[in-house]
Amino acid sequence: MGKRIYLCLAHMSGTEQAFIKEAFDTNWVVPLGPNVNGFEEDLKQFAGGGKEVVALSSGTAAVHLALIACGVRPGDEVIVQSFTFCASSHPITYLGAVPVFVDSEKDSWNMDPDLLEETVKDRIARTGKTPKAIIPVALYGMPYRIDRIMEIADRYGIPVIEDAAEGFGSRFDGRMLGTFGRYGVLSFNGNKMITTSGGGALICPDQESKNEIMFYATQAREAYPYYQHERIGYNYRMSNICAGIGRGQMTVADEHIAHHRRLCGLYRELLAGVDGITLHENPSDRYDSNYWLNTVVIDPELRVRGEEHVYEVAVNGAVGGAAGVTHAASTLHTDCEPNRNVEAMRIALDAAGIESRPLWKPMHCQPVYKDAPAYVNGVSEALFRTGLCLPSGPCVTDDDVRCIVDNIKAALID
């Protein structure tokens, strides 16, 4: 086996070391400093629209603080896209609030605006209260129908928190994601479009909002000559070292986005003659995805070598890009899982040294959220059963894509 082709790994520009060295040379190795200020300014200019930006320890922290800023309290309800990673919904539960999941539309795979409005009306009728926030998600970089989502949110007076963690640089109608709603969430995890090794940011509407977010991100200290705390705060600020990496990454951000988009074009070209495999692309010219991950849907009728033997052995470790400690699978099956041909394709690619993974399992199908309200139409569950993420990072070459597609074709049974 030759080199392994990973799903999406960060790539350094070569300038990061200079910013990091400066931080060490000047002894700025704390959660503030010139690199933090510089990175925030770089992000502000990148996003445009006159917004302010706070650099934080993670995208999850950004979601958490945005919810606090929107006044979310225990018992409140927050509407959130179901088809997403758990970091979009978990912070709602940190605050003792209730996530209300909304399914996806077929075109973008993101929050269905029609179902969103039905959900808002029904929650008001059932609880007598208006949901405290709406969180759409830029799944794999694809923009959501933010024009319709904002129209609905404004009509009911509900603030929007855009989860653009996967959508760094994606645009809708020419405008950057994360700048439409009251707050916009970015992530710089090690697998994102740009990275700070770990980290995130929150796009804020103005300086006053930025100051409030920074207050909560630095343990909510009052202005006394000693430590006085009147509210609960968090240690969520980004370090000057990580921000130095981010400043270096910003010098190649446009290059990384262009690379991901070019890979999408190559996947389109090479998969054009493969019946039963459909690449997910911009639904119209209003959408401009960064294609953080290129994704395909595999027709359930398509046969893949080895599919008769999948799900025969319980998984004991991390699979498909997961990191950290996992519990061994307790059963061979769950009530919602990828189709056998999708799992067989993942296994075939893995055997060839190619990392892939299923799409996110919808949050309304997760056991931890079994009691949460959910408004579903079957779209996200169908996509989860049939979809697969393909390598798309800055380190993936044109030859890698050709190798990936060749192995996809080789796994198919005529």
**Same domain for 101 and 55:** yes
Q: Is residue 100 in a domain?
A: yes
**Same domain for 263 and 217:** no
Q: What whole-number distance in Å separates Cα of residue 163 and Cα of residue 135?
A: 6
Q: What digits encode the pLDDT tens for the residues 65-107?
A: 999 999 999 999 999 999 999 999 999 999 999 999 999 999 9
**Same domain for 69 and 155:** yes
CA neighbor of 242 nearest in space, from 188, 282, 172, 166: 188
Report the number of distinct structural domains present in the chain: 2
The residue among 252, 269, 302 that closes a domain is 252
The residue among 213, 236, 252 that closes a domain is 252
Give the contacts of 55 (CB within 8 A, at least 6 positions apart).
Answer: 36, 39, 40, 43, 199, 200, 201, 237, 238, 243, 246
Q: Is residue 211 in a domain?
A: yes
Q: What whole-number distance in Å separates Cα of residue 57 and Cα of residue 272?
A: 41
**Same domain for 270 and 214:** no
CB 171, CB 138: distance < 8 Å: no
Query: 295 lies in which domain range?
Result: 254-411
pTM: 0.95
Q: What whole-number distance in Å separates Cα of residue 191 and Cα of residue 200?
A: 12
Q: What whole-number distance in Å separates Cα of residue 192 and Cα of residue 249?
A: 11
**Same domain for 243 and 258:** no
**Same domain for 263 and 241:** no
Q: Is residue 4 in a domain?
A: no
The residue among 221, 252, 283 that closes a domain is 252
Which parts of the chain sit beneath pLDDT 70? 1, 28-30, 317-324
Please tell me whether residue 347 adopts helix, strand or coil conformation.
Answer: helix
Q: Is residue 221 in a domain?
A: yes
Q: Is residue 1 in a domain?
A: no
**Same domain for 39 and 157:** yes
Q: What whole-number distance in Å separates Cα of residue 264 and Cα of residue 281?
A: 8
Burial 176-214 (b: 16+ CB within 10 A, else e): bbbbbbbbbbbbbbebbbbbbebbbbbbbbeeebbeebb
**Same domain for 23 and 168:** yes
**Same domain for 245 and 332:** no
Residue 346 pLDDT: 97
Residue 409 pLDDT: 98
Q: Is residue 9 in a domain?
A: no
CA neighbor of 22 nearest in space, from 13, 32, 36, 35: 35
Tally of CB atoms within 10 A around 414: 3
Q: Which residues pair with 287 in a beta bridge?
A: 172
**Same domain for 195 and 277:** no
CATH number for the domain including 114?
3.40.640.10
**Same domain for 293 and 223:** no
Q: What percent of the chain is helix, strand and coil (3-state, nearest 5)? A: 40, 15, 45
Q: Is residue 102 in a domain?
A: yes
Residue 210 pLDDT: 98
CATH number for the domain including 398?
3.90.1150.10
Q: Is residue 244 in a domain?
A: yes
**Same domain for 208 and 288:** no
Residue 319 pLDDT: 61
